[in-house]
């Protein structure tokens, strides 16, 4: 059974069953990554295009490897080398890629909703690899996969997301996913970085990190975009770090076996202390590996995959 | 040349008429309104089942000429007006160049006389180049027919300049039309700030951006005695501010657009840039407050803020698209469907807001009523006629309407300008 949809644009519109299907499909995919010969023929003859309008290392590489491990032909396009710099519209760029045979277009864009525009105009599948501060569905899926792998479940867990909630697509996708899967989600940020109406998404906002981290099972740290400070949303990086940096002392407020996560890239010493990032509770490297597995699962399911175990064998 | 509009229900609140009657037009003026008027060689417009009303005037339109003709021209914009049942439009000065002197006002007027399908009333800029620094030649523009001054699209952030402008405009009895938007509070927002902006990951525009400047301008109107007209009011708080100001006797009027009483911010989730407009589509509570403001008379006028843009400009990512919705060809249908049919406004009240009050605010002699000798500007609406909005059939150059595909009930069937049929039976006659 594949996913009964053309595109993956966000977690908000996914059902619990769809999330479960993706996470289950990612398990056998992860086995492939651990093999000596990391290649299965599942997507042979399929063309997967990474269309990245924003710089990215891990997400782009992760999608590219996911495609390659499954024998798809993968192409990367970044804005600096595409016709975008010549003023071509998103719709025209998408159409051009499609008529060259793209089966899946993976798009990252600084404008929220860009993948939705593309999806409306293309018959190829579109995967949102992060749009503005709207959604980053594959990050949330890999985060949920990682939590489930470590904790055995999602339902009933307390998860705190710390940092720039206002401008974070990672936060939004995780909020939709985790709340759908029955976790209790808290968001921790200075009041100027808590978006209006956030509690209506089913989360509890905190401005005190000490209160917010109390007894949680997962601490999810967000990257602080350094330009936020210039917009006056908080006074200095120094003060932010002092009030909201995830330090070893603060992690001790959480459950003793709490996981520490970060979507990367990290600003060590700002939102996360180096000893926490490298500590025993951190699962940041596992997140990266699982990212490849989850993206393999998605590519497979969106291109109409059958039994995932067949795909592996 | 005579025109006889036969058998319609005449709604003329200024003259206290709301009954079935014939209207005879002779030489561009109303010559008789009576039960049965003989044909006597007049061209007959059958109006049975239709409402016959003083010509609708849209006092907030962007015709984009000069300089932005790819979006709209006086020729196409006035044809869109005619199709929408309007017999007159007031056009905003934020063209290129900005309409900030007598010569440019005269340019608009001569263009409109040559190519326009309906009456065009130019609005002048408040400051030179709309830069918000020095006053434009307001008196000079008034002399050649500018009907108001406005900073539409480029709000006057400097309160002292606004104060001087209001004091100065008050000498000429010209209304100052304020686009209330504190640009600092807008902070790069692209939609209404609230739950949906949070969900869609788009930067929000707080209600305060509008309300803070509305409050400022109301206080300046009190101080200067000028006539303040607040454009495209969109929030519950602004409606309340105008209500309070009117109670205090401050000279303030206000308009609301059809999109602000018809749509909420939830619709932005389509990322369709036709929903991107300034002020933004607000919450359900704001929509209800705007309707209540229309109902209780706080809001005097329905105006479209017809803001045409090219397909190329709008067919981009949400953040990059320009703000604006075209409204001329959907306004009457939305007003009948959304206000008159549900009983928010009576047809008489609608005529006040779409004809009588705009004529009064803009100081248009002979407009806004169907008394003997008045200009024969007449709008006919079939309150039961249904039409599905199809942007590809718009007379406007622009297609940026979020109402594409909506079925509206209550459609204009004729527009008569100075005794000339410019639109009849949903077809342009010019």
Please give the Cα distance from A246 to A92 (Å, whole number).
Answer: 44
Q: In this predicted structure, what is the pLDDT of residue B367?
A: 98
Chain B neighbors of A89, CB-CB under 8 A: 312, 315-316
Q: In this predicted structure, what is the pLDDT of residue B153?
A: 87
Check residue A123 and report its DSSP letter: S
ipTM of predicted assembly, 2 dp: 0.92
Whether A84 has a pLDDT exceeding 80, the answer reads no
State percent of chain B over pLDDT 90: 99
Is B195 in CB contact (< 8 Å) with chain A?
yes
Q: How far is A30 from chain B (nearest CA, A)?
A: 31
Encode pLDDT of B300-316 as tens digits. Answer: 999 999 999 999 999 99
Using 50, 70 and 90 to split pLDDT, how confident is the model at A305?
low
Q: Which is catalytic among the residues A5, A58, A151, A268? A: A58
**Contact yes or no for B256/B302 (Cβ under 8 A):** yes
Q: For this structure, is A59 an active site residue? A: yes
HSE at residue B192, side-chain half, CA atoms within 13 A, is: 26
Q: In this predicted structure, what is the pLDDT of residue A306?
A: 55
Interface A-B, measured as beta-carbon pairs within 8 A, has a size of 62
pLDDT higher for B152 or B285? B285
With an 8 Å Cβ cutoff, are B316 and A132 in contact?
no
State percent of chain A over pLDDT 90: 86
**Contact yes or no for B351/B53 (Cβ under 8 A):** yes
At residue A131, φ and ψ (nearest 5 deg) are -125, 115
- Between positions 307 and 326 of B, the ones with CB within 8 A of A are 312, 315-320
First-residue to last-residue Cα distance in chain A: 17
With an 8 Å Cβ cutoff, are B319 and A132 in contact?
yes
Q: Which residue reads 């050649």 in tokens?
A: B144
With an 8 Å Cβ cutoff, are B318 and A111 in contact?
yes
CB burial of A27-50 (b: ≥16 within 10 Å; e: otherwise) equals bbbbebeeeeeeebebbeebbbbb
With an 8 Å Cβ cutoff, are A116 and B195 in contact?
no
The A-side interface with B (CB below 8 A) comprises 12, 89-91, 109-114, 116-117, 131-135, 169, 172, 195-198, 200-201
Encode pLDDT of B2-19 as tens digits. Answer: 999 999 999 999 999 999
Cα–Cα distances in angstroms (integers) from residue B243 to residues B254, B261, B355, in the given order: 10, 17, 21
Is B34 in CB contact (< 8 Å) with chain A?
no
Check residue A277 and report its DSSP letter: H
Neighbours of B223 (CB within 10 A): 12
- CA dihedral sign, ordered B33, B39, B45, B50: positive
Using 50, 70 and 90 to split pLDDT, how confident is the model at A62?
very high
Q: Which of B188, B195, B201 to probe the A interface (max A CBs under 10 A)? A: B201
Encode pLDDT of B390-403 as tens digits. Answer: 999 999 999 999 99
User: A83-88: long-range contacts (C-beta < 8 A, 24 or more apart)?
Assistant: A84/A53
Cα–Cα distances in angstroms (integers) from residue A96 to residues A51, A86, A102, A115, B272, in the given order: 12, 14, 9, 15, 21
Encode pLDDT of A107-126 as tens digits. Answer: 999 999 999 999 999 999 99
Using 50, 70 and 90 to split pLDDT, how confident is the model at A308?
low
Chain B neighbors of A169, CB-CB under 8 A: 201
Q: How far is B318 from chain A (nearest CA, A)?
A: 7
With an 8 Å Cβ cutoff, are B271 and A109 in contact?
no
Please give the Cα distance from B243 to B241 (Å, whole number).
Answer: 5
Q: How far is A151 from chain B (nearest CA, A)?
A: 28
With an 8 Å Cβ cutoff, are A113 and B199 in contact?
no
| Nearest chain A alpha carbon to B272 | A117
Q: Which of A117, A135, A195 sits opposite B317 (nearest CB)?
A: A117
Q: In this predicted structure, what is the pLDDT of residue A294?
A: 98
Is B188 in CB contact (< 8 Å) with chain A?
no
Encode pLDDT of A211-227 as tens digits. Answer: 999 999 999 999 998 77
Encode pLDDT of B312-364 as tens digits. Answer: 999 999 999 999 999 999 999 999 999 999 999 999 999 999 999 999 999 99
Chain B neighbors of A198, CB-CB under 8 A: 198
Is B96 in CB contact (< 8 Å) with chain A?
no
| Nearest chain B alpha carbon to A12 | B199
| Nearest chain A alpha carbon to B202 | A112
With an 8 Å Cβ cutoff, are A109 and B270 in contact?
no
**Contact yes or no for A8/A300 (Cβ under 8 A):** no
Please give the Cα distance from B348 to B292 (Å, whole number).
Answer: 17
Q: In this predicted structure, what is the pLDDT of residue A89?
A: 86
Q: For this structure, is A6 an active site residue? A: no
Q: How far is A278 from chain B (nearest CA, A)?
A: 31
Q: How far is B230 from chain A (nearest CA, A)?
A: 27
Please give the Cα distance from A222 to A265 (Å, whole number).
Answer: 9
Q: Which is catalytic among the residues A25, A42, A59, A74? A: A59
At residue B337, φ and ψ (nearest 5 deg) are -70, -40
Q: Which is catalytic among the residues A81, A86, A200, A236? A: A86
Give the distance, in angstroms, between the CA of residue B291 and the centroid of all CA atoms in the same chain: 16
Please give the Cα distance from A34 to A27 (Å, whole number).
Answer: 12
Whether A82 has a pLDDT exceeding 60, the answer reads no
pTM reported for the whole predicted model: 0.95
Quickly list H helices, A70-208: 90-99, 114-121, 137-151, 169-180
Helix (H, G, I), strand (E, B) or coil at A160: strand
Neighbours of A304 (CB within 10 A): 12
With an 8 Å Cβ cutoff, are A195 and B198 in contact?
yes
- Residues 6+ positions from A175 with CB-CB distance below 8 Å: A161, A185, A187, A201, A202, A203
Q: Tokens in use for B110?
A: 């001569």
| Nearest chain B alpha carbon to A165 | B198
Neighbours of B242 (CB within 10 A): 23
- Residues 6+ positions from B396 with CB-CB distance below 8 Å: B72, B76, B77, B79, B80, B306, B308, B326, B328, B329
Chain B neighbors of A12, CB-CB under 8 A: 199
User: How many residues comprise chain B?
Assistant: 430
**Contact yes or no for A303/A46 (Cβ under 8 A):** yes
With an 8 Å Cβ cutoff, are A113 and B316 in contact?
no
| Nearest chain A alpha carbon to B314 | A89
B411 pairs with which residues across the strands? B382
Chain A neighbors of B198, CB-CB under 8 A: 172, 195-198, 200-201
If residue A299 lies in a helix (H) or strand (E), which one and from where to where?
helix A284-302
| Nearest chain A alpha carbon to B311 | A89
Q: Which of A196, A199, A201 to probe the B interface (max B CBs under 10 A)? A: A196
| DSSP collapsed to 3 states, chain B | CEEEEEEEEEEEHHHCEEEEEEEEEECCEEEEEECCCCCCCCEEEECCCCEEEECEEEEEECCCCCCCCCCCCHHHHHHHHHHCCEEEEEECCCCCCCCCCHHHHHHHHHHHHHHCCCEEEEEEECEHHHCCCCECCHHHHHHCCCCEEECCCCCCCCHHHHHHHHHHHHHCCCCEEECCCCHHHHCCCCEECCHHHHHHCCCEECHHHHHHHHHHHHHHHHHHCCCEEECCCCCHHHHHHHHHHHHCCCCEEEEECHHHHHCCHHHHHHCCHHHCCCCCCCCHHHHHHHHHHHHHCCCCEECCCECCCCHHHHCCCHHHCCCCECCCCCHHHHHHHHHHCCCCCCHHHHHHHHHHHHHHHCCCCCCCCCCCCCECCEEEEEEEEEEECCHHHCCCCCCCCCCCCCEEEEEEEEEEECCEEEEECCEECC
Chain A neighbors of B318, CB-CB under 8 A: 111-113
B51-54 and B228-230 strand pairing: unpaired
Q: How far is B204 from chain A (nearest CA, A)?
A: 9
Is B201 in CB contact (< 8 Å) with chain A?
yes
Q: For this structure, is A38 an active site residue? A: no
At residue B91, φ and ψ (nearest 5 deg) are -110, 140
Please give the Cα distance from B74 to B244 (Å, whole number).
Answer: 38
Q: Which is catalytic among the residues B22, B151, B286, B305? A: B305
- Residues 6+ positions from A10 with CB-CB distance below 8 Å: A128, A134, A135, A137, A173, A176
Encode pLDDT of B222-234 as tens digits. Answer: 999 999 999 999 9
The mean pLDDT of chain A is: 93
HSE at residue A305, side-chain half, CA atoms within 13 A, is: 24
At residue B42, φ and ψ (nearest 5 deg) are -80, 150
Using 50, 70 and 90 to split pLDDT, how confident is the model at A78?
confident
B248: left (phi over 0), alpha (psi -120 to 50) or beta: alpha
Q: Which of A110, A133, A197 sits opposite B195 (nearest CB)?
A: A197
Cα–Cα distances in angstroms (integers) from residue B110 to residues A287, B76, B79, B119, B122, in the given order: 68, 15, 16, 11, 11
Angle at which helices A16-33 and A284-302 cross, to 10°: 110
Q: Report CA Rg, chain A.
A: 19
| Nearest chain A alpha carbon to B271 | A113
Neighbours of B169 (CB within 10 A): 24
Using 50, 70 and 90 to split pLDDT, how confident is the model at B36?
very high
């Amino acid at each position: 059974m594949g996913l009964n949809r053309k595109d993956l644009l966000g977690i908000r519109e996914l059902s619990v069953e769809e999330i479960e299907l993706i996470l289950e499909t990612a398990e056998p995919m992860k086995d492939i990554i651990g093999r000596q010969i990391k290649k299965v023929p599942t997507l042979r003859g399929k063309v997967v295009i990474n269309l990245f309008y924003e710089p990215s290392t891990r997400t782009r590489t992760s999608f590219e490897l996911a495609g390659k491990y499954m024998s798809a032909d993968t192409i990367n396009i970044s804005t600096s080398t595409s016709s975008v710099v010549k003023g071509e519209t998103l719709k025209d760029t998408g159409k051009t890629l499609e008529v060259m045979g793209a089966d899946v277009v993976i798009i990252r864009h600084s404008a929220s909703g860009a993948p939705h525009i593309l999806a409306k105009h293309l018959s190829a599948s579109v995967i949102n690899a992060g749009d503005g501060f709207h959604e980053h569905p594959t990050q949330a899926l890999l985060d949920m996969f990682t939590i489930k792998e470590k904790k055995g479940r999602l339902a009933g867990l307390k998860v705190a997301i710390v940092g720039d909630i206002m401008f974070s697509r990672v936060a939004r996708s995780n909020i939709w996913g985790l709340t759908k899967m029955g976790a209790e989600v808290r968001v921790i940020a200075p009041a100027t970085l808590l978006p209006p109406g956030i509690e209506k998404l089913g989360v509890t906002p905190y401005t005190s990190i000490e209160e917010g981290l109390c007894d949680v099972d997962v601490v999810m740290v967000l990257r602080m975009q350094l330009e936020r400070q210039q917009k006056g949303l908080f006074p200095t990086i120094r003060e932010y770090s002092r009030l909201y940096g995830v330090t070893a002392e603060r992690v001790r407020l959480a459950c003793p076996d709490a996981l520490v996560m970060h979507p990367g890239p990290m600003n060590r010493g700002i939102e996360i202390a180096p000893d926490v990032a490298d500590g025993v509770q951190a699962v940041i490297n596992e997140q990266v590996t699982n990212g490849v597995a989850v993206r393999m699962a998605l590519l497979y399911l969106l291109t109409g995959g059958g039994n995932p175990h067949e795909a592996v064998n | 040349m005579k025109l006889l509009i036969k058998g319609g229900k005449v709604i003329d609140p200024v003259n206290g008429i709301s009954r079935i009657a014939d209207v005879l037009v002779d030489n561009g003026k109303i010559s008789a309104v009576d039960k049965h008027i003989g044909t006597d060689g007049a061209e007959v417009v059958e109006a049975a089942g239709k409402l016959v009303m003083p010509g609708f005037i849209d006092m907030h339109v962007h015709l984009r000429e000069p300089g932005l003709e790819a979006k709209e021209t006086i020729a196409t914009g006035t044809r869109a007006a005619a199709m929408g049942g309007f017999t007159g439009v007031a056009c905003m000065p934020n063209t290129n160049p900005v309409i900030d002197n007598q010569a440019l006002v005269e340019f608009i007027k001569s263009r409109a006389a040559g190519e326009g399908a309906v009456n065009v009333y130019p609005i002048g800029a408040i400051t030179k180049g709309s830069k918000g620094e020095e006053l434009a030649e307001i008196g000079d523009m008034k002399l050649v027919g500018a009907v108001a001054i406005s900073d539409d699209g480029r709000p006057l952030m400097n309160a002292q300049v606004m104060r001087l402008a209001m004091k100065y405009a008050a000498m000429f009895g010209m209304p100052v039309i304020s686009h209330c938007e504190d640009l600092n509070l807008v902070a790069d927002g692209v939609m209404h700030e609230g739950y949906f902006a949070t969900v869609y990951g788009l930067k929000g525009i707080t209600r305060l951006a509008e309300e803070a400047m509305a409050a400022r301008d109301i206080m300046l109107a009190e101080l200067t005695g000028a006539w303040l007209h607040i454009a495209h009011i969109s929030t519950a708080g602004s409606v309340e501010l105008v209500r309070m100001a009117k109670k205090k006797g401050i000279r303030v009027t206000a308009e609301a657009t059809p999109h602000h009483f018809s749509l909420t911010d939830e619709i932005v989730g389509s990322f369709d840039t036709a929903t991107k407009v300034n002020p933004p589509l607000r919450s359900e509570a704001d929509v209800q407050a705007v309707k209540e403001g229309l109902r209780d008379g706080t809001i005097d006028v329905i105006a479209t803020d017809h803001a045409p843009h090219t397909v190329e400009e709008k067919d981009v990512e949400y953040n990059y698209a320009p703000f604006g919705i075209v409204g001329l060809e959907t306004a009457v249908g939305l007003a009948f469907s959304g206000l008159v049919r549900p009983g928010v406004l009576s047809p008489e009240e609608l005529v006040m807001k779409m004809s009588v009050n705009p004529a009064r605010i803009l100081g248009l002699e002979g407009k806004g009523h169907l008394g003997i000798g008045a200009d024969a500007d007449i709008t006919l609406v079939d309150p039961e006629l249904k039409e599905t909005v199809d942007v590809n059939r718009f007379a406007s150059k622009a297609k940026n309407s979020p109402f594409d595909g909506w079925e509206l009930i209550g459609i204009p069937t004729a527009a008569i300008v100075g005794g000339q049929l410019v639109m009849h039976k949903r077809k342009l006659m010019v």
